[in-house]
Amino acid sequence: MNEFVKVLYDEHDIIISAIEIAKKTDELIEKDPVKFEYILGQLIHFFRQYADRFHHFKEEEILFPEMKQKNEMIGLGIIHEMLDNHYEFRGLIKQIEHQVVLKKHKEAYALLYEYSEKLLDHIAVENDELFLMTEQLFDDAELERIQFRFEDCDRDLGYESKEELKNSLQLLIELF
């Protein structure tokens, strides 16, 4: 498996860990609404920064354009669907945040659950279809070039910040 594809799979595993935390927050709605809001705020930050800013950004700015350039039909099909998902995810995060501000915790959780389920479906499509296509579509030299672009992107966005976001999940787990 190419190194940048492994990075994408690993990032998905970390995002799935956040989703697992998100699904547990319903326990706190009635029991500890302050903790619910705090954890939800941390999850919103994680999903915006880690899932969107690091993970989706690399897909949108590097992987998807490379794939579309290599095969136009992929661009019209699965990549178009993945981009639509990314846009929808950003909208759902805004809606969740809005419901938290309004202190509508049950509504916020319902949206968080919807977001989580859609993100899990999205991850499954990428893991089971898109990433497999990637390794079939590109030769070794192209894969290496994309890998270097991924590394440059993560460095530019901040390796330390990415690690801090990943580590923040452990702190959230300990709050339960």
- CATH no. for residue 167? 1.20.120.520
Residue 59 DSSP one-character state: I
- Tokens (6 digits) for 58: 């690399």
Residue-level pLDDT at 135: 85
Q: pLDDT class for 65, splitting at 50, 70, 90? A: very high
- The pLDDT value given to residue 72: 81
Report in angstroms the alpha-carbon separations of 106 from 38, 44, 138: 15, 16, 46
Cα–Cα distance, 56 to 38 (Å, whole number): 25
pLDDT for 166 equals: 93
Asked if 74 and 138 count as a contact pair (C-beta separation under 8 A), the reply is no
- 75-93 residue pLDDT tens: 778 999 999 999 999 999 9
Q: What is the CA radius of gyration of the chain?
A: 17
- Tell me: pLDDT of 51 over 90: yes
Lowest mean pLDDT among 67-76, 81-90, 95-104, 111-120: 67-76
| Mean pLDDT of the residues in the chain | 94
Q: Looking at residues 20-29, what average pLDDT do you find?
A: 95
167: its two tokens:
């580590």
Domain coverage including residue 14? 3-174
**Domain total for the chain?**
1
CA distances from residue 54 to 21, 66, 154 in whole angstroms, order as listed: 20, 17, 7
Residue 151, Cβ density class (10 Å: 0-12 exposed, 13-18 middle, ≥19 buried): middle
- Residue 147 pLDDT: 95
CB 105 within 8 A of CB 36: yes
Mean pLDDT, to the nearest integer, of 40-47? 97
Does the pLDDT value for residue 22 go beyond 90?
A: yes
